[in-house]
Amino acid sequence: MPKDPNIKKVLVLGSGPIVIGQAAEFDYAGTQACRALKEEGVEVVLVNSNPATIMTDKDIADHVYIEPLNVDSVTQIIQMERPDSVLPTLGGQTGLNLAMALHENGTLEKYGVRLLGTSPQSIHKAEDRQGFKDCMESIGQPCVTSDVVESVDDAVAFAEKISYPVIVRPAYTLGGTGGGIAYDEPSLREIADRGIHLSRVGQVLIERCIAGWKEIEFEVMRDSAGNVIQICSMENLDPVGVHTGDSIVVAPTQTLANREYQMLRSAALDIITALGIEGGCNCQFALNPDSYEYAVIEVNPRVSRSSALASKATGYPIAKVAAKIALGYTLDEIPNAVTGKTTACFEPTLDYCVLKIPRLPFDKFTTASRTLGTQMKATGEVMAIANSFEGALMKAIRSLELNVRALRLPKLDEYYTDEIEDLLVNVDDERLFVVAEAIRRGVSPRKINSITRMDIWFLNRFKNIIDMEQALIMCKGEPDADALRRAKEMCFADSYIGWLCGMEQKDVKALRERYGIVPSFKMVDTCAAEFDAETPYYYSSYDGENEADTGDSGRKKVLVLGSGPIRIGQGIEFDYCSVHSVWALKRLGYETIIVNNNPETVSTDFDVADKLYFEPLTAEDVQNIVEQEKPWGAVVQFGGQTAIKLAKALTDMGVPILGTSSDGVDAAEDRERFDEILNQCHIPRAKGQTVFTTEEALKAANEIGYPVLVRPSYVLGGQGMEIAYNDRNITDFMRIINLTVQEHPILVDKYLMGREVEVDGVFDGEDLLIPGIMEHVERAGVHSGDSISVYPSIHVEDKHKKTIERYTYDLAKALGVVGLINIQFIIYDDQVYVIEVNPRSSRTIPYISKVTGVPIIDLATKVMLGQKLRDLGYGTGIYREADYFAVKMPVFSFEKLADVDTGLGPEMKSTGEVLGIAESFPQALLKAFKGANMRAPKKGGRIILTVKDEDKGESIGIARGFADLGVEILATEGTCRTLEKAGVPCTQVARVSERHPNIMDMIASGTIDLVINTPTRGRKQNTDGFRIRRAAVEHSVGCVTAIDTARALLTARQQGRSRDLQALDITKI
């Protein structure tokens, strides 16, 4: 069936802000789908609240709305744009739920909008727990047996029926609180009793325990003609029990014989057929490792994180094909872009091994529980491709950027073997390394399997790596050619081989080159070389034949380094920058080569750059590519810290860095050099000193005067940064900072609690363009990434703007910036101070590009190549301010991360952001709060205030404001006293440690709309404040932890009018 001619204008729903569980993969999917739709001549209307995405670019869709993803705002957009159809399956669960809500409330029908692809009935069948179970039963597909019970006796009776062990899951508790595995009746009685009491509705789910079974996934597709294909099979190294997003995953499956493989493949095809899905679908199975028994765990009737991985693992563009299927095409009518000859109706076959490792945020959240379970915690992931499992694993570990270069965690060296064995029971992010260490200590794979249930095959592969390490250690000096070749075939880094053999990295390289052991590059072609393909998608191996295209395109080659896995502090915005730079370079006639290892991103789509190398972003791995491609220049300023830290290595390889030199980067990061530059430019900065010991820190703090900011130098996203108000704080922070060995000094700076302002600028060596000045709502002290940011600035006086422009110009000039510069300022006591300078792209680039209409990356790229701003049409100096306001608001994922303090401070904690854009500041603020799903209490609502002493004064105005709106104010003793004294009506609530009902009970009761709690500084976990904030998160009660945020919420409530919110097409800017 060809394309349905009635489809002319399609609404595409995005997935909103990046949160744990819903990340960049949907930008990739959405972008690919939009391009596929436009390719078919369809007019695309896009809605996504996330400004950091590529999909929200005017190059991608015809009409772009960066608006809250809720029924009201999307209804308004439908009224304005009158699309004939909506594509619901590319925006994750958010997009799917929204589309279903619009269908169910009749909006779609009212405006004659049809749902493309999968029908609402099918979506409902897949999403509804009972409906799905019934459907599976009707086609003979086994689900995990379970039942909801309300009494202990019923629980026992059901457990007898399905046999022990059973899992007890209390209904409506976060992260399965109070549940557990019962192995026999007495333990079930205990757990079920507790669970029934903890559950808000007095119910627990009793489920057959399949922990330890293999977790297998299949990505499948179906078209309207009923053709069904499988795209990719995946096997989790971590057995059932760990969320697939937190599992190490290998593709294709490794330990399934054909019979089990086909059994599950057929099951997946039967499921997608029975559900009637038209598009992509992900099926997760649990497979008993000792029999053919299996169970369907979950089905996602849409593109997903796994489908992004499957796309990158196979080269099959799932989102693109899903979009074309939605338009009416059948699989055999869609060409296979990889071969150009065959069609999309085939099953990719791999001739390599793919491994994904999740990137978990425990390096940032050091106090968080590292335990992995059914609640996903990873913020991102890396993928590696090699022709062996060992090689893929070694590459993936290097790609994580966790200072680990092999299957070895140095801290485990200190444990005794029996302690290592004890650690094996912990299911956490370090288990991979614990398992490896156990093997290194001689614990047998069989024994490890009995504890971890990881398949012996994987354990044997780990052992292979450990054996290789041993062989290299035994070489004592130069390894022979055979050992070296085997080590390189397992993708051991030269530096690691050197460490094992006691050689310098460069000597290892020289030695293997003498032996002729050099990398070659293989192509990812979807068909295992059965057909001729020209996909410029490569991975390295140490096999003979090199397939990388060495032909001269006649164009200069530019290497663009990507930003690796998504983590807190380095998110999707850097992929936006990398991709835009690639596009700019292509438009300018350069041949572009991208290196990245993140399967969720647009940059790793093989048709973005001229060539894609899916490789770790380490100096050695990049050098291999440099030697292959011999680029004319390299671009590092768009790939975040990951790329920028390779600047020096690239320079040493003789690759010219386009734009700011690596020396300029160093000058901005080196405290002494930077101070020197500030002095030269006569730019004031907060007084500060560098220290190493606690004594020095105390001395410095007292000299500078409290409060002071304490932080390690050379860190990302304010990691480990704290504000100290007294000697006790200093002693406390220094102890924590020094828990890890500090190679660089610790900085103690005067803390200026002023207004924080941020600019991104483009500098060409002579002229500067500042697209916009952004002002932070929260005062200095809250990390810029966690602050609400507004453009244009509201409170910055013209004279300060002039100063900011001059400082930016002077710093850019002094640092030798060519391209982008990001500077954070503080305006304190009528003076402008510089806090931080980054001579690279920043997280605000996508947002400020979109709201100002200045194509910043395009300009920066041109400038790096020698063009001058004054010729580029956007002028110089500060760009004219827009006549509307744009508020960028951070979004957090605290409910996914137990034991993380939600209080904001100098260390970044947000995972994503939304934008609110409107004609006035309060309206933009209101929109952004809506987008972030933060609801301000209305008349009749209730707020609890409990603030630290420094904030008590300011809390009065906020409390009064809410009280005037008819909101009931509750407060703990101290705050209450302050408010009452000021004449604000207020009810006192008992503190955490006091009588019941206390503040915790109130939060749990569901009658509170907002908690305003400003944390006392420090890192203690057991303070009342910490428990209050966590309780708010766990009971889905809004919680604001900075007094300025609370004021912003009040402003939005007082001055914002929901009814008057107007959606804005940013392409019209």
Partner 1 sequence: MKATLILANGAVFRGDAIGAMGDRVCEMVFNTSMTGYQEILTDPSYAGQGVVMSYPLMGNYGVNGEDNESQRPWAEALVVRHLSPVGSNFRCEGSLGDYLRQHDIVGIQGVDTRALTKLLRSQGTMNGMITCAEHFHIREVLDKLAAYRVSGTVERVTRGEKEVFPALGEQRLRVALMDYGVKQNMIECLRKRGCEVTVYPAHTPAAEILSGGFDGVMLSNGPGDPADNVDIIREVRALYQSDLPLFAVCLGHQLLALATGAKTHKMTFGHRGGNHPVKDLAAGRCFITSQNHGYVVDAGSVDPAVAQVSHINVNDNTVEGLKYKRKNCFTVQFHPEASPGPEDTEYLFDRFIASMGGEKNA
Q: Is 1022 in the site for partner 1 (CB under 8 A)?
A: no
**Residue closer to partner 1, measured from CB, 214 or 512:** 214
The only residue of 107, 388, 998, 1023 in contact with partner 1, by rule CB under 8 A: 388
Q: Is 255 in the site for partner 1 (CB under 8 A)?
A: yes
Least distance to partner 1, CB of residue 448, Å: 13
Residues 436-455 that bind partner 1 (CB under 8 A): 455
DSSP H helices, 653-797, are 662-669, 671-681, 694-704, 727-737
Contact 638, 581 (CB under 8 A): yes
What is the Cα–Cα distance from 674 to 618, expressed in whole angstroms? Answer: 26
Least distance to partner 1, CB of residue 888, Å: 46
Least distance to partner 1, CB of residue 294, Å: 13
Would you state the torsion angle of the CA atoms of residues 660, 662, 663, 664, taken in this order, to the nearest 10 degrees?
A: 30
Residues 215-234 that bind partner 1 (CB under 8 A): 225-230
**Residue closer to partner 1, measured from CB, 530 or 672:** 530
Contact 266, 259 (CB under 8 A): no
The H or E element containing residue 46 is strand 43-47
Least distance to partner 1, CB of residue 520, Å: 9
Paired strand residues for 206: 147, 168
**Residue closer to partner 1, measured from CB, 352 or 884:** 352
Residue whose C-alpha is closest to residue 850's, from 913, 918, 771: 771
Contact 459, 435 (CB under 8 A): yes
**Residue closer to partner 1, measured from CB, 262 or 1054:** 262
DSSP H helices, 44-198, are 71-81, 92-104, 107-110, 120-127, 129-138, 152-162, 185-198
Q: Is 119 in the site for partner 1 (CB under 8 A)?
A: no
**Residue closer to partner 1, measured from CB, 226 or 656:** 226
Q: Which stretch binds partner 1 (CB under 8 A): 114-122, 335-343, 558-566, 978-986?
A: 335-343
**Residue closer to partner 1, measured from CB, 187 or 520:** 520
**Residue closer to partner 1, measured from CB, 186 or 340:** 340
The only residue of 65, 285, 346, 614 in contact with partner 1, by rule CB under 8 A: 346
Q: Is 42 in the site for partner 1 (CB under 8 A)?
A: no
Least distance to partner 1, CB of residue 545, Å: 4
The only residue of 259, 995, 996, 1068 in contact with partner 1, by rule CB under 8 A: 259
DSSP states of 916-957 = EEESSHHHHHHHHHHHTT-PPP-TT-EEEEE--HHHHHHHHH
Least distance to partner 1, CB of residue 258, Å: 4
Contact string 47-76 vs partner 1 (x = CB under 8 A): ------------------------------
What's the Cα-to-Cα distance from 784 to each of 299, 688, 748, rounded to whole Å? 39, 20, 19
Least distance to partner 1, CB of residue 213, Å: 12
Query: If you ran DSSP here, which 8-state letter would residue 414 be given?
Result: G
Q: Is 138 in the site for partner 1 (CB under 8 A)?
A: no
Phi-psi group of 417: left, alpha or beta (phi > 0 → left; psi -120 to 50 → alpha; rest → beta): alpha
Q: Is 350 in the site for partner 1 (CB under 8 A)?
A: yes
**Residue closer to partner 1, measured from CB, 232 or 436:** 232
**Residue closer to partner 1, measured from CB, 179 or 348:** 348
β-pairing, 180-182 with 114-115? unpaired
Least distance to partner 1, CB of residue 336, Å: 9
Least distance to partner 1, CB of residue 285, Å: 16
What's the Cα-to-Cα distance from 468 to each of 165, 288, 355, rounded to whole Å? 40, 32, 20
**Residue closer to partner 1, measured from CB, 236 or 642:** 236
**Residue 368 amino acid letter:** A
In whole angstroms, what separates CA 770 from the centre of its chain? Answer: 28
Long-range contacts of 552-557 (CB under 8 A, 24+ apart): 553/591, 553/610, 555/589, 555/590, 555/591, 556/590, 556/591, 556/632, 556/633, 557/590, 557/591, 557/592, 557/593, 557/629, 557/630, 557/631, 557/632
Query: If you ran DSSP here, which 8-state letter would residue 341 be given?
Result: S
The only residue of 120, 202, 289, 712 in contact with partner 1, by rule CB under 8 A: 289
The only residue of 6, 106, 290, 741 in contact with partner 1, by rule CB under 8 A: 290
Least distance to partner 1, CB of residue 1050, Å: 60
The only residue of 262, 417, 550, 1021 in contact with partner 1, by rule CB under 8 A: 262
**Residue closer to partner 1, measured from CB, 287 or 327:** 287
SS3 500: helix
**Residue closer to partner 1, measured from CB, 293 or 949:** 293
Q: Which stretch binds partner 1 (CB under 8 A): 456-464, 641-649, 703-711, 759-767?
A: 456-464
Q: Is 872 in the site for partner 1 (CB under 8 A)?
A: no
Least distance to partner 1, CB of residue 546, Å: 9
What is the Cα–Cα distance from 571 to 567, expressed in whole angstroms? Answer: 6
Neighbouring residues of 342: CB distance < 8 A, sequence distance ≥ 6 = 335, 336, 527, 531
What is the Cα–Cα distance from 190 to 171, expressed in whole angstroms? Answer: 16
DSSP states of 1042-1067 = SHHHHHHHHHHHHH--GGG----BGG
Q: How many residues bind partner 1 (CB under 8 A)?
A: 55
The only residue of 79, 121, 266, 726 in contact with partner 1, by rule CB under 8 A: 266
**Residue closer to partner 1, measured from CB, 221 or 561:** 221
Q: Which stretch binds partner 1 (CB under 8 A): 297-305, 385-393, 566-574, 1008-1016?
A: 385-393
In a 13 Å sphere around the CA of 453, the CA atoms on its Cβ side amount to 19
The only residue of 389, 538, 807, 828 in contact with partner 1, by rule CB under 8 A: 389
Q: Is 460 in the site for partner 1 (CB under 8 A)?
A: yes
The only residue of 130, 258, 403, 1022 in contact with partner 1, by rule CB under 8 A: 258
Contact string 779-818 vs partner 1 (x = CB under 8 A): ----------------------------------------
What is the Cα–Cα distance from 227 to 321, expressed in whole angstroms? Answer: 13
What's the Cα-to-Cα distance from 139 to each of 120, 135, 142, 728, 982, rounded to whole Å? 20, 7, 9, 66, 68
Contact 472, 394 (CB under 8 A): no
Residue whose C-alpha is closest to residue 178's, from 189, 170, 167, 190: 170
Q: Which stretch binds partner 1 (CB under 8 A): 237-245, 325-333, 570-578, 780-788?
A: 325-333
The only residue of 63, 265, 611, 930 in contact with partner 1, by rule CB under 8 A: 265
Residue whose C-alpha is closest to residue 642's, from 596, 576, 609: 596
Least distance to partner 1, CB of residue 591, Å: 24
Q: Is 340 in the site for partner 1 (CB under 8 A)?
A: no
Residues 513-572 that bind partner 1 (CB under 8 A): 522, 527-532, 543-545
In a 13 Å sphere around the CA of 856, the CA atoms on its Cβ side amount to 35
In a 13 Å sphere around the CA of 421, the CA atoms on its Cβ side amount to 12
Least distance to partner 1, CB of residue 104, Å: 33
Phi-psi group of 38: left, alpha or beta (phi > 0 → left; psi -120 to 50 → alpha; rest → beta): alpha
**Residue closer to partner 1, measured from CB, 91 or 328:** 328
Residue recorded with tokens 């019209």: 1068
252 preceded by a cis bond (ω within 30 of 0): yes
Residues of the shown chain interacting with partner 1 in the complex, contacts defined by CB under 8 A: 225-230, 252-262, 265-266, 269, 289-291, 330-332, 341-343, 345-353, 387-389, 455-457, 460, 522, 527-532, 543-545
